[in-house]
């Protein structure tokens, strides 16, 4: 993996940590905008979601070994194109001619579950980082003369 080598576990785990952190940020942004009926382009806010993919430098015909495990990559943040709910509220400044306001398609339970899975996955990545550190310390302790 080029820059990996001895400490490649650190890089794999930190790719996981970064990915889960972004997921958490996106979920928080969705919750913050749960009632934003207007964005810069004039449309209601659309829920965003992160897209991940396994980063693996897999050359054709080459078997998988420790060198081409590179954790997770963030493919990007995409809009959730599911239907936007309408709410009848004639007094609202963003209401249409029939008195309906188009609301963002953010669902609170969905975001909560997303945040919980992100937090658990973050912990798991952190744990493997700790275990790696212990293992490295043990290897290094072999160098200590007794």
Partner 1 sequence: MSPLDAQSGLLSQLMDASALRQQVVTHNLANLNTPGYQRLEATFEDQFQKALAGAGDVSRADGIKAKVVASKDAATRSDGNNVDLDREVGELQRTAMMFQTYTKLLEARLGMMRRAMDSR
Interface ranges with partner 1 (CB under 8 A): 8-9, 12-13, 15-16, 19-20, 23, 52-54, 63-66, 69-72, 117-118, 120-121, 124-125, 127-129, 131-132, 134-135, 138-139, 141-142, 145-146
Q: Nearest approach, Cβ of 27 to partner 1 (angstroms)?
A: 12
The neighbouring-strand residues paired with 69 are 56
Q: Which is nearer to partner 1, 55 or 101 (CB)?
A: 55
Q: Which is nearer to partner 1, 74 or 95 (CB)?
A: 74
Place of tokens 């934003």: 36
With beta carbons less than 8 A apart as the criterion, state whether 55 and 72 touch. yes
Q: Which is nearer to partner 1, 106 or 118 (CB)?
A: 118
Q: Nearest approach, Cβ of 40 to partner 1 (angstroms)?
A: 29
Q: Nearest approach, Cβ of 80 to partner 1 (angstroms)?
A: 15
Q: Which is nearer to partner 1, 40 or 143 (CB)?
A: 143
With beta carbons less than 8 A apart as the criterion, state whether 122 and 21 touch. yes
- Considering only CA atoms, which of 89, 15, 17, 21 is closest in space to residue 50? 21
Q: Nearest approach, Cβ of 76 to partner 1 (angstroms)?
A: 13
Q: Residue 80 burial (CB < 10 Å; 0-12/13-18/19+)?
A: middle
Q: Which is nearer to partner 1, 72 or 103 (CB)?
A: 72
Q: Which two tokens stand for residue 6?
A: 């001895």
CA dihedral (27, 72, 15, 74) in degrees, to 10, reads -50
Q: Nearest approach, Cβ of 18 to partner 1 (angstroms)?
A: 9
């Amino acid at each position: 993996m080029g820059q990996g080598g001895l400490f490649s576990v650190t890089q794999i785990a930190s790719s996981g940590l970064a990915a889960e952190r972004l997921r958490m940020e996106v979920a928080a942004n969705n919750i913050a905008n749960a009632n934003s009926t207007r964005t810069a382009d004039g449309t209601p806010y659309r829920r965003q979601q992160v897209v991940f993919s396994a980063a693996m430098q897999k050359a054709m015909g080459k078997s998988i070994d420790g060198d081409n495990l590179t954790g997770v990559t963030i493919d990007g943040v995409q809009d959730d194109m599911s239907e936007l709910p309408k709410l009848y509220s004639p007094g609202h400044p963003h209401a249409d001619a029939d008195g309906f306001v188009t609301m963002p398609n953010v669902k609170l339970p969905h975001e909560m579950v997303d945040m919980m899975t992100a937090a658990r996955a973050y912990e798991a990545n952190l744990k493997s980082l700790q275990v790696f550190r212990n293992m490295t310390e043990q290897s290094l302790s072999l160098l200590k003369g007794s």
